[in-house]
Amino acid sequence: MKKELIFLGPPACGKGTQTSKLAEYMNFPHVDTGSLLRAAVKNKTPEGIEAESYMSKGKLVPVEVVAAIIKRRLSESDCSNGYVLDGFPRSLEQAQMLEQINKETDTEKAEFRAIYFDIDTELLIERIVNRKSCPKCGEIYNMKFKAPKDGVHCDKCKAELTQRKDDTEEIARARFETYYNETAPLTKYYEDKGVLRNIDANGTIEEVWERLLKAVND
């Protein structure tokens, strides 16, 4: 049966690392909304051209345009057995849009599941202020939990790591407040539908991975 998997959780909870690994493990496409949007702009798809008209002016891309880009991607043949969707939905409105997209793109019965990464906020603060990334390949590191071998350069492409200017405690706490106000209501929405699975996202990458596999397959 086709599996449709989405992931909920506050910033820096580990979704990106785990969903990328899960997609490879299950041989599903990892549909990352941010990367998808940038690719649509680069490839000048109709939706990408429209999105760029907003981005070039520093404006947010309307959710309808983002949804159209996602629909186009989920309609492709490699999503026929399932997908791992990262970064969407982030609101109840977007959740309803995704339901409509699935109805229109599903060619067989599908199992939809929302997985919530439950984690201590103070641990997340510590993760964020210690986070660095590779400007070349995008690999993410944490100087305390997942440091590069030499402490300075990316293990994969050897570029010098950088840190986002907004990876500060003050900004992180503001982002959490926004998340809990706007996105957290999705957990109740999916819980009421009986498709939500909670996993304890505290612990090592390997520990969380085992919990994730159980949540996906139970």
**Which one, of 15, 74, 70, 75, lies nearest residue 47 by Cα?**
70
Is residue 38 among the annotated active site residues? no
Whether 90 is a known active-site residue: answer yes
**Residues forming a β-bridge with 3:** 82, 111
Q: Which of 127, 131, 132, 211 is catalytic?
A: 131
Q: What number of H helices and E strands is found in the chain?
A: 9, 7
Per DSSP, the residues of 102-148 read HHHH-SS-EEEEEEEEE--HHHHHHHHHTEEE-TTT--EEETTTB--
Can 72 be counted among the known catalytic residues? no
Active site residue 164: yes
- Which of 42, 144, 158, 164 is flagged as catalytic? 164
- 175 a catalytic residue: yes
Among the listed residues 144, 148, 22, 131, the one whose alpha carbon sits nearest the alpha carbon of residue 84: 22
Active-site residue identified among 2, 38, 71, 90? 90
Catalytic residue list: 15, 90, 131, 164, 175
